[in-house]
Structure 1
Amino acid sequence: MPMGDNVTLDRGTGTGTTPAAKPTTQLIDVAAAGGMPPAGGADRGSGTTGPARKRRRKAPFILGGAGVLVLAAIGFGAWYSADHVAPGVTYAGADLGGQSGEQAAQIIQRQFDRHSVPFSFDGTQQQVSAADLGLQIDAQQTAHDVIAGQPAWQFWRWNSSSTVSPQVSADAAAEGTFFSEAWPAAYTVTEPSLEYQAAKASFTVVPGQAGQGVDAAAVQTAFLDSFVHGDSTAQRVSQSEVQPTITDEQAHAALPTAQQLVRKMTFQAGGKPLITADAATVGSWVKISDRDGQFSAVYDTKAISDFVKQNAPAKLDPTPKTQTVLASDANVVLVPGSTGKTLGDVTSFAEDVATKAAAGDSSFDLPVTEVPFETKTLDRKIDINLASRSASLIENGQVVTTFPMSPGLQTNSGAMQAAKTSTKVGNYKVWYKTTVQNMGCTPQYDYCTKDVKWSTFFNGDQALHGTYWHNQFGISDMSHGCVNLRETDAKTVYDFAPIGTPVSVHY
């Protein structure tokens, strides 16, 4: 039987002897049939009619999955666009494409800090940076504006330059100071000032005047525009009418502060005044500035240093003076010593003076370098010989001079040492000296001698002193116990023997 023929069973008679044939499958070319399946039942190959099988519906599932992908793509794009710069976008001369907002902000800040533009006025060119103009950029906000202005989803704006205005803040005072220092010739405006008048030792206000100055707004605009475009082409500085940055009223208000600094100053060494600067001189040390729109008055440390260097050295003796002390008592100074003194470093000293003087001080210890003095001993003593009625001054074992003298009554006759009026034998030390005094003249004494000069006491009330009432020196015992000397000789003893000088009295 040919393949593909249909076999019909004779079900009506039941007498057919032909074996029942198995159904065959007919292959149908769906494409050839116009893309449609054959009509009929489930067994389309046999042509027989049977129960229909259910078709599987895949399209809704495919469409749903695609929708999820689309929504995810849209969500990702929205997230990416909100925090990333579109591909190929440049700003301030830097490629920000694909950078996150934080990364873009860092790049913008770096570009801003590095950016500078040459500006010139009247032939004077100056490289100008953001710091010079007192400008600070909000890099985070600027990066946000770049992203918002050219979002990543707007593919037609990829690979282009952003020209959003940078978010900046400015310090006008710092900018003005920079301009006036960079191009002073551009300014004809006169600021009010405090002028010192040495003759009166006082400050007065010189009023300010409006005039021409650098057009700060134009310079700032040009600088920011060049930054946005990454361009450093040279620019010209223009001028505009400007007012003084400080008012005359502010200048008058600053007068008392400046005047307070005008006062006499004393500089001392070793606790003693050495040099003095009068108020008129100190006033010339006061430096007035009007930086950042405010007056300030401070001492000029260089002026202080120069004054000290010019005047102090001549008042300082660099050579030490030897001190002489008594050999028998080192506490007895015969000739005072002194250190050699030279002026030390006055740089830090001047700064210290400026600080302390501003707080009200007016006396300062100079930085002095001292050279120690040497000390030598000198052996001095007084030798009184009662028998020869003489007094000798001895230094380092050598007799310097000998004077005739008159000891106390009966020192060399009669009761001698037992006599109340005798000059007593013994070893003593000078304990008191006076240039003139009355002797006796009190109830306990039976005599009174006025105006006795050059007394050098060694044993209680017994002293070597000048005598004007007799001339028995070296001849007679005349006193109430003292050693009488001619007044000139008494003066020599007074000068020779400091307190503590040994005195030997013997026969």
Structure 2
Amino acid sequence: MPIADTASSEHGPLSVKDHKRHVWPWAVLASVFIVMAAACGFGVWFFQSHVLPGTTLWGNSVTGKTQQEIADTINDQVKHTTVTAKYQGKSAKFTLESLGVDVDGDAIASDVFNAKRGDVWWQQYAFWITKDIAPEINAKLANGSVVDKALDIDAKEPVNAQVKLNDAGDAFTVVAGQNGQGADASNIAAQAISSLKSLGATQPRTVTVTLDVTEPTVTDAIANDAKSTLDTIAGKNVSIKVAGTDIATVTVPMLASSMSVNANQQATLKSGETRNGYVVFDSAKLQQYYNDQIKPSLKLEREDTKLVVNNAGEVISTETEGHDGVVIADGADTGVGTKLADALASGSNSITVAGTVDPKQEVKVTHHVVIDLSDRKLYAYENDQVVRTLNVAVAQGNDMTTGECVGLMCTPTGDFTIWQKLPSQDMSGSLTLADGSVEKWDVKDVGFVNYFSHGGCAIHRIAGGYTADASMPYVANGSHGCVGIGWDVAEWFYNWCGMGTSVHVQV
């Protein structure tokens, strides 16, 4: 049975005409939806490379402009918008560029382009949600000397404050600036800035120049701010790392060699420069410092740290600091300056260079002294090995053959440590002996004194100029308890025998 070309309803069959009447509204809605979806898709695509809706620059809508268009507009204004200035019948034209007011149009354009891109996706395209980018441009940065020269004004130039190394070369200090007198260029710059902020919609007015006290571009306040920045960086001990090991630290002299102070924080940086506040770092100068001062000090072979200890294991001195063995990978340190400049600007604590490190180790060496009163010898030991034997003269009370105490004044026996050292000392005094007699002495310029007993006994250079190898064996005991050593060995012993060295005196 053939099927009729009709549709039914509760009211009876629908004609083809009725069917079409019900379908067309949905087709229209679908078409509208497709058009809207296409428009939205186009909008999303378009604004990937153009400024988002609702974005303004100094209150001016820049929606739909490209980042490059905005940068070009700003840079063109800075270079070509002129302000006429008059003084005593003379006139000249000035731009922000000629006045030294540097404006980084590329950086501002980047800020504008990215102004809303961190928002929720739908807010990015909501034109009623606005975000204004309004970087401040300081008219006081205008260089008045340019105006003075152009208008033949007899002026006294201001002197910029400076940030310099102190005399010791280990910290920064500020040298105060000096005010000058001449044209007030800030009013001229203000007119150009006003025109710039309108993106050329308003034109600058003519300015009548007045003379005033002129501050330096780098004021004392700016210099002190820059010093604070540098002090903070120096205190962080920014390091150069190889294989996780610090091989060098950015020092105050390194910072000083590579930095300058720029009062205009909106200024365009040169290639290889970075900024931290008012401080600008030059990567080429950082690289040069590394090449000249750091790299030559790196050693391929490690040298261990040599610590001197006494018999109790206490560290008494560092004989050798030692160093790591450092091998830099081929060409890996050619970009040290660039990495450091970025780190100093961003506040990072370190940079990394490819290579290997053989870390230094700690080696302990025991120093101790044995004085034998019977043979009148001093033995200097390192790790139980005698490194030097010295002839000595001891107290008058010690027997010349056995070393035993047979008189009233003797060199004490037992275990001691060096507790005081003096490169030279006048020794004088008096002592009442057990038999009632009084012993007096007054010896000038006793050299290389090493006190081992708290009773006043020391190992020191003997009076009289005797030498250890020749004269000393024939010197009669004559001290009041001290141990005398020859003039030719006294300085060596003084340097070898550190504070805290163990001393054992025996018969």
TM (norm. structure 2) is 0.48
TM (norm. structure 1) is 0.48
Work out which structure has the larger RCO, using CA pairs closer than 8 Å and 6 or more positions apart in sequence. Answer: 2
Structure (1 or 2) with the larger CA radius of gyration: 1
